[in-house]
Amino acid sequence: MLIFNVIFPILGNTNSITKGLVTEQYPLPPPLSIEMVLEESISRRMSVRSFTGESISDEELSTILWAAYGYTENGTRSIYSPDEKYSTIIYVIRSDATYKYIPENHTLSLFKNGNYLYLGQYDSPIKFGLVWDMNIAEDEMRGMSEVGMICQNIYLDANALDLGTVTTGMYVEDLYELGIPSNEKPAIIMPLGHPSSPYDFTYDPLPESNLPSVINNSISLEDSINNRLISNEWDDIPLTIIEQSQLIWGSYGYSYLYDNVNNKRHRTLPSAISIYPYKVFAANHSGVFQYSPSDHSIIEITQGDKREQIRDSIEYNNITITSASWIIIPFLDTNVGQPQYQGFWYYEVGAITHNVILEATALNLGANVIYEILDENGLRSALGIPSQTNLIPLSIIPIGGPIISNPPKKPDISGPSSGSKGEEYSFTASTTDPNGDQVYYLFDWGDDSNTGWLGPYTSGSEINASHIWGELGDYNVKVQAKDVYSSTSEWSDPIIINILENLLEVKLISGGLFKVKSFIKNNDVSDINNIQWSIDIDGGLIILGKRTTGLISIIPSGDETKIVSNMILGFGAINVKITAEMPEVSNMREQSGFVFLLLITINPSG
């Protein structure tokens, strides 16, 4: 009599971080805390092109990647995309291999083995290859503006950690050597390392002008990223002169620190080939002003409130731009910015926008950005510069005091209390907003992952979100809501879902005369109803009993029910497969054996 081995499913393993070894999954440690105030970090922003051979720690890499493109404590991304299209992919090039950064679980995923640090410019222990996924954002301006925001955060966090970086646009096509997909367009390569010459700054305030000197607020770089405040409507109260000064300085100004190594002041954002081709205008209740970065001053262009005319020249969707108290508008001067660097000019407007949003947060103000400019001539006329057709507006950045709204009520959440590893489970949430505002939802799955903000949805409507757990254990699933003014609710009471190996367990199969049998066990904390089961015999010469099916109406929690095949008659080596299933839950067991006429022998499995 022949005895065959049990057939086991093959399970893939996820490798953890291992020093010196290439791993499929490279979990990053928690980011370091950055206590440096925002304005100091902006003032320390500079391009570094020469690095020591000192390595970058995993904690430093984790911190910079989180700031670049990770998820904040509130479930938002570290940079702002008004249409929620996050189209950038960050390749992390190391000496061992190249990885892709996965923001959802703050992990590096192996992309390609080998040392590709020779790509791009400058020698450094790590390089970031940023590419624009054209399938996600078809508009190059949107894609490159997002890259500009990401790179600005890399700059800010790198210098706050006494590391250095530079955005390089030359030789970015080298990234194709990695074998990136055809829908990904290389945008920027950023080397990262310890500067060969340490930072050496002297505080040197900007010259006095009709704008106050730049000051440090109390909020840190980390907190400004974590607590970024996006608004669609504002309180229409004029900003103070210091608030206006801080915001327009962040957009395009000069550092209040003097760099003793390079003997210069740096700008608040990088340039291409030392060209700064933007002219920055701003509008408020009283008029329109042009910013002069060299002496940190503003010049009045035209008097009167032009916010309605600005609104009429753009596609403002649900943004009430006429309630914004300070509207910053960067214009690309095409007489200065050569067309061949168009991608970088889009990058630069993203960096401008990002700086303004962070500085607004430091001032407890809300900001937003509008890219859809429908009537450029109308906008120039509204600002009092109708003849300057060489100036191309690329974004509108409204800022002001956010409207204080009542947060949504604590959400209700419902869903299963137990499940199987690897299966998808759906949860339902709902809440109401006291003001009837639309509502966003954030589901926290209890395994260091979340959905990000979903919505907006009508107040009171139910929404569904699904998740798959890959590890056994108990997980607290909860949901939070916020209204369109970013006023957040309490977290819901959590649902504990117990993830088991299998809710329905098919136990060992045994043979005998004419039949095979097994038991189906309910591992759930509640009863399971309407379980469909089947016994299938493959192989050999089977005359009777190839398939048996049945229905179990109920298996109480913790109990098991015996199932038995129909009469089996045949000869030869066989494989027995038993399947038990119900909606969203299934399990299967296979064992090999032998049938000799009426006698069925099953190889034991344990």
Element (H, E) at 105: none
Q: Is the pLDDT of residue 10 over 90?
A: no
CATH code for the domain in which residue 553 is found = 2.60.40.10
CA-CA distance, 507 to 605, in Å (whole number)? Answer: 10
- What average pLDDT does range 356-371 have in this prediction? 96
Q: Is the pLDDT of residue 20 over 60?
A: no
**Same domain as 371, residue 265:** yes
**Same domain as 572, residue 487:** no
Number of domains in the chain: 4
- What average pLDDT does range 40-47 have in this prediction? 96
The confidence band for 13, taking pLDDT boundaries of 50, 70 and 90, is: very low
Task: Kindly state whether residue 199 falls inside one of the protein's structural domains.
Answer: no
**Same domain as 538, residue 482:** no
Query: 162-171, 194-203, 272-281: which range is least confident on average?
Result: 272-281
pLDDT reported for residue 6: 28
pLDDT reported for residue 11: 27
Q: What is the b/e burial string over 114-136, where b = at least 16 CB atoms within 10 angstroms of the residue's CB?
A: eebbebbbbebbbbbbbbbbbeb
Residues contacting residue 323 through CB under 8 Å, at least 6 positions apart: 233, 234, 235, 236, 400
pLDDT reported for residue 17: 38
**Same domain as 431, residue 378:** no
**Same domain as 375, residue 264:** yes
Alpha helices in 277-431 (DSSP H): 307-312, 342-362, 376-383
Coil, strand or helix at 587: strand
**Same domain as 385, residue 236:** yes
- What average pLDDT does range 423-441 have in this prediction? 91
Task: Kindly state whether residue 5 falls inside one of the protein's structural domains.
Answer: no
Task: Kindly state whether residue 278 falls inside one of the protein's structural domains.
Answer: yes
CA-CA distance, 183 to 416, in Å (whole number)? Answer: 39
- What average pLDDT does range 361-370 have in this prediction? 96
- What average pLDDT does range 303-315 have in this prediction? 96
Task: Kindly state whether residue 17 falls inside one of the protein's structural domains.
Answer: no
**Same domain as 319, residue 270:** yes
Residue 184 domain boundaries: 25-30+47-193
**Same domain as 418, residue 323:** no
Parallel/antiparallel/unpaired status of strands 326-333 and 278-283: antiparallel
Task: Kindly state whether residue 164 falls inside one of the protein's structural domains.
Answer: yes
Task: Kindly state whether residue 42 falls inside one of the protein's structural domains.
Answer: no
pLDDT reported for residue 22: 61
Query: Which domain-ending residue is among 500, 530, 552?
Result: 500
Task: Kindly state whether residue 358 falls inside one of the protein's structural domains.
Answer: yes
Task: Kindly state whether residue 226 falls inside one of the protein's structural domains.
Answer: no
- In single-letter form, the type of residue at position 240 comes to T
The confidence band for 106, taking pLDDT boundaries of 50, 70 and 90, is: very high
pLDDT reported for residue 202: 97
Q: Is the pLDDT of residue 14 over 60?
A: no
Q: Is the pLDDT of residue 373 over 60?
A: yes
pLDDT reported for residue 584: 65
* Angle in degrees, 0-180, between the axes of helices 140-160 and 58-69, rounded to the nearest 10: 140
CATH code for the domain in which residue 177 is found = 3.40.109.10
* Residue 442: both structure tokens together: 């954030």
Q: What is the pLDDT of residues 218-261, one digit of tens each?
A: 999 999 999 999 999 999 999 999 999 999 999 999 999 999 99
Query: Which domain-ending residue is among 500, 516, 545?
Result: 500
CA-CA distance, 375 to 559, in Å (whole number)? Answer: 71
* Residue 26: both structure tokens together: 């490279």
- What average pLDDT does range 432-461 have in this prediction? 91
**Same domain as 445, residue 315:** no
**Same domain as 566, residue 417:** no
pLDDT reported for residue 12: 29
Q: What is the pLDDT of residues 265-307, one digit of tens each?
A: 999 999 877 889 999 999 999 999 999 999 999 999 999 999 9
pLDDT reported for residue 403: 85
Instruction: Share the mean pLDDT of the chain.
Output: 90
**Same domain as 326, residue 300:** yes
**Same domain as 159, residue 67:** yes
Residues contacting residue 488 through CB under 8 Å, at least 6 positions apart: 74, 407, 408, 480, 481, 482
Query: Which domain-ending residue is among 460, 480, 500?
Result: 500
